[in-house]
């Protein structure tokens, strides 16, 4: 969502005459878009702001701003803490970015804009399309009505609001007309898209599926309680709906799930997994897991390991619990799991979770998979994209002309995080072993 918001800010400014300057030292405006989901990401923002101080000293006209959830959470405090910061604004102010930046540049006044949208179940936010990438994110809703006790999101992004289906479809059509082949719908709790209106996510998926030229549809993030049977059955029926789903379980212990206020039990979670596999046996499932939530015992932790073993995820994102001021869990004083125990549990869980994920990827060596090529990697050694099952695939013999194409790729190497292989329609030139780069090839 933050990548999408950053692109949106960038596109808004570019449509008004700004251009992207890769070297911060030469920029007139530096905006840092931020995440406050964990304490560490907030610390990183402060450290980056410290690094920017010499640039501001050299060029006092430069405007430095902090956007997003840290801006929303800290507001004026951040401005007071960082004297060389000009602008602080939250996620709901992103559409005002041009006015905010212009005002800071013209009047030289430091400003805070953390005003959140008023009440209501809908909002409109047509995409600012500056360029369309082969695979695009599209925010369709914002905020969250769940108050998981560890989570800062409802405080910094507000209550749930959805964009109308007609507006979202219009964006998708515009993106497709400019070359987008895959769209990922974004929402904090996307299964309840349309809540309080006659529209819902299943309808949006059906109608998006009918758009000609679009090849792939995905959505994140799902909540195990709100993932309904209407959404589950679509995985077995709709060709363009990619067979992959991110379904965080956070803890395998019912006691901890209750303390997290996740509103489901481990059995209910596993039942959703069973239904998903029944609807779409090839579905690739990924998850989020928190270790060391206040009060988590070794037995609770073992329950999380059991779920990992039982489901067979294709990817798992594992985190140590990070206390966030203002949340309910922040007040669970005296029940903190010691940092050393969290570290040990995280390491243990990572070993247990990642071994089968790697084995699963290695088992794909020799198979073929369609890959939508999105970009070249930073070292220019391969082109990269994703399989329908959301695996990152590096293609060793592709060229510029392949960007935006779906290539049939034979997998020849694999590790826990990605696959590598060759596009079957071109000679096996390996970019990694070439002095110069091979001529771009693409017959797709």
Binding site for ligand SF4 (CB under 6 A): 144, 146-148, 151, 153-154, 188-189, 223
What residues have CB less than 8 Å from 31, skipping those under 6 apart? 9, 64, 65, 66, 67, 87, 97, 101
Pick 143 or 404: Cβ nearer ligand SF4:
143
> What are the tokens at 8?
């949106």
Pick 134 or 224: Cβ nearer ligand SF4:
224
Least distance CB 393 / ligand SF4 (angstroms): 29
Pick 146 or 173: Cβ nearer ligand SF4:
146
Least distance CB 231 / ligand SF4 (angstroms): 16
Alpha-carbon distance values, 125 to 95, 118, 138, 410 (Å): 8, 15, 10, 40
Residue 428: CB atoms within 10 A of its CB come to 12
Pick 65 or 187: Cβ nearer ligand SF4:
187
Residue 315: which of 276, 287, 346, 347 has the closest Cα? 287
Q: How would you classify the pairing of strands 392-395 and 418-423?
A: parallel
Pick 189 or 384: Cβ nearer ligand SF4:
189
Q: What H or E segment, with its residue span, contains residue 218?
A: strand 216-220
Least distance CB 326 / ligand SF4 (angstroms): 12
What residues have CB less than 8 Å from 299, skipping those under 6 apart? 253
Q: What H or E segment, with its residue span, contains residue 183?
A: strand 182-186
Least distance CB 146 / ligand SF4 (angstroms): 4
Pick 156 or 308: Cβ nearer ligand SF4:
156
Least distance CB 3 / ligand SF4 (angstroms): 17
Least distance CB 294 / ligand SF4 (angstroms): 16
3-state secondary structure of 396: coil
Alpha-carbon distance values, 72 to 66, 106, 157, 160 (Å): 9, 24, 8, 17
Pick 163 or 223: Cβ nearer ligand SF4:
223
The distance from CA 309 to its chain's CA centroid, rounded to whole angstroms, is 25
Least distance CB 154 / ligand SF4 (angstroms): 5
């Amino acid at each position: 969502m933050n990548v999408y918001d950053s692109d949106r800010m960038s596109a808004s400014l570019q449509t008004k005459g700004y251009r992207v300057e890769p070297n911060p030292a030469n920029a007139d405006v530096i905006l840092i878009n931020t995440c406050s989901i964990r304490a560490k990401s907030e610390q990183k923002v402060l450290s980056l702001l410290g690094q920017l101080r010499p640039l501001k000293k050299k060029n006092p006209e430069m405007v430095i701003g902090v956007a997003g959830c840290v801006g929303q959470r800290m507001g004026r405090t951040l401005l007071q803490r960082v004297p060389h910061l000009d602008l602080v604004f939250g996620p709901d102010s992103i559409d005002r970015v041009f006015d905010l930046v212009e005002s800071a540049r013209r009047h030289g006044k430091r400003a805070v804009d953390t005003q959140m949208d008023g009440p209501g179940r809908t909002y409109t936010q047509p995409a600012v399309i500056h360029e369309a990438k082969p695979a695009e994110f599209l925010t369709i809703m914002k905020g969250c009505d769940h108050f998981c006790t560890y989570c800062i999101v409802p405080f910094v992004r507000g209550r749930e609001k959805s964009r109308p289906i007609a507006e979202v479809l219009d964006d998708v059509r515009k993106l497709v007309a400019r070359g987008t082949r895959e769209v990922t719908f974004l929402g904090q709790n996307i299964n309840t898209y349309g809540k309080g209106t006659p529209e819902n996510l299943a309808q949006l998926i059906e109608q998006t599926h009918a758009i000609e030229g679009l090849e792939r549809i995905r959505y994140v993030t799902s909540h195990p309680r709100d993932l309904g049977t209407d959404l589950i059955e679509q995985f077995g029926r709709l060709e363009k709906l990619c067979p992959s789903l991110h379904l965080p379980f956070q803890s395998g212990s019912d006691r901890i799930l209750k303390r997290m206020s996740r509103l489901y039990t481990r059995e209910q979670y596993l039942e959703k997994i069973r239904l998903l596999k029944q609807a779409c046996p090839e579905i690739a499932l990924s998850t989020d897991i928190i270790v060391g939530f206040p009060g988590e015992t070794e037995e609770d932790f073992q329950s999380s390991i059991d779920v990992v073993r039982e489901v067979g995820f294709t990817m798992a994102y594992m985190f140590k619990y990070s206390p966030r001021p203002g949340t309910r869990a922040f007040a669970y004083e005296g029940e903190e799991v010691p940092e050393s125990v969290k570290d040990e549990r995280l390491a243990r869980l990572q070993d247990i979770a990642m071994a089968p994920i790697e084995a699963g990827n290695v088992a794909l060596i020799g198979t073929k998979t369609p890959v939508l090529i999105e970009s070249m990697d930073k070292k220019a050694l391969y082109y990269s994209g994703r399989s329908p099952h959301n695996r990152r695939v590096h293609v060793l013999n592709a060229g510029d002309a392949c960007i935006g194409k779906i290539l049939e790729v034979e997998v020849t190497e694999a590790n826990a995080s990605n696959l590598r292989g060759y596009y079957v329609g071109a000679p096996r030139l390996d970019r990694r072993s070439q002095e110069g780069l091979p001529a771009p090839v693409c017959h797709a």
